[in-house]
Homo-oligomer: A and B are copies of this chain.
Amino acid sequence: MGVTVKDVARLAGVSTATVSRALRGFESVDPEIRRQVLDAANRLNYVASPAAAALSTGRAGSIGIITPYTDRLSFQRMFTGIERETRATGTDALIYCTGDPSDTHPVPPHKRLARRVDGFLVLSLSADSPDLQQILQLGMPVTMFGSMGPWTSSVSIDDRGGAAAATEHLIELGHRRIGVIYGREAHDPAVLEYQRHLGFRDAMARGGLAVDDALIAGGDFTLAGGARAMTRLLDGDPPTAVFAFSDEMAYGAIQTMRSRGLEPGRDVAVIGYDGHEISGVLDLSTIAVPYERIGAALAAKLLADIDHPGQERSATELPVELVVRGSTRPAPSV
């Protein structure tokens, strides 16, 4: 079931080795012969078996993406960037979602992907995650987003600076009681989220403001979680401004506000983080993160590392940008 090199070789009247060489564009093939081979391959509609090629060369021709979630807008945007790069090189991308640990078949990524890919893209995984450790031990090229360290190449953003910029923006507007909706507890300094906490504290300290733990709530990086967190904040002694560590959590916060007749910017200022397109519709201020570019940079770097092993590790930092919209307006003069 399938036409093989042999068939092409026979039709073209050459050996299988020549077919292989011609089809992969080796210089050392007589142009006339190459034409014949290409012709025969086309006529037979031949496509080389990737499995056989992989077995023979030891290269899988694909990369693995390890991510804790596939249903966030930031992942979607990064994937779009990744896909753009991989398609151009004919590489394919296998997505491995580490998701909730309550999985049906919790086969760890390094087991499932080890021999199936030539390298890994690791997105937003905590540096002390056992999965990560296992992957690093594989000794394959790895490029990471959202975690730094000398072990691997990485692409990152100035997350601490971005969080500080968001916070400073609120402070400059006159806010003193500033709430925070974070994602998950992050005790690992290598995780972006941790950097956001630091950036927030940086700015608060610079503004001479105390951080009130009662104004800090977790939103699990989801819309629903953001809504719950905002409920908690409003049920207490509410802040006049809220900084959500992701746009999606900010959407949830806005939903909660609206359900109580409160208007973002008028009653409570809200700023998000991510800069998704939809935030413009909600008139949400945010820190714009170039996820598509991040994805493309990650993929490009990994593919280069795969093609040129023993390369220097490199770290790229992409800029973020404060986008001011209607959801952050001056605090009502008390």
Chain A residues proximal to chain B, CB less than 8 Å: 1-2, 47-52, 54-55, 58, 60, 70-71, 76-77, 79-80, 83, 87-90, 92-95, 97, 99, 103-105, 107, 111-112, 114-116, 223-224, 251-252, 254-255, 258, 277-278, 280-283
Give which listed residue, B60, B93, B282, contacts A51 with CB less than 8 A: B60
Selected contact of A2 from candidates B88, B115, B258, CB within 8 Å: B115
Tell me the bound Cα distance from A72 to B280 in angstroms: 17
Which residues of B have CB within 8 Å of A51? Answer: 50-52, 54-55, 60, 115-116
- Complex CA–CA separation, A100 to B58 (angstroms): 33
Closest chain B residue to A283, Cβ basis:
B258
Chain B: CB-nearest residue to A59: B51
Determine if B60 and A70 form an interchain contact, defined as CB atoms under 8 angstroms apart: no
Residue of B nearest to A139 (CB): B1
Is A115's CB under 8 angstroms from B50's CB? yes
Q: Are A97 and B116 in contact (CB under 8 A)?
A: no
Bound Cα distance from A56 to B22, whole angstroms: 26
**A55 and B47: CB pair below 8 A?**
no
Q: CB distance B87 to A104 under 8 Å? A: yes
Q: Judge whether B111 and A47 touch: CB under 8 Å.
A: yes
Residues in chain B near residue A92, CB distance under 8 A? 94-95, 112, 116
* Docked complex Cα distance between A83 and B71 (Å): 11
B71 touches A76 (CB 8 A): yes
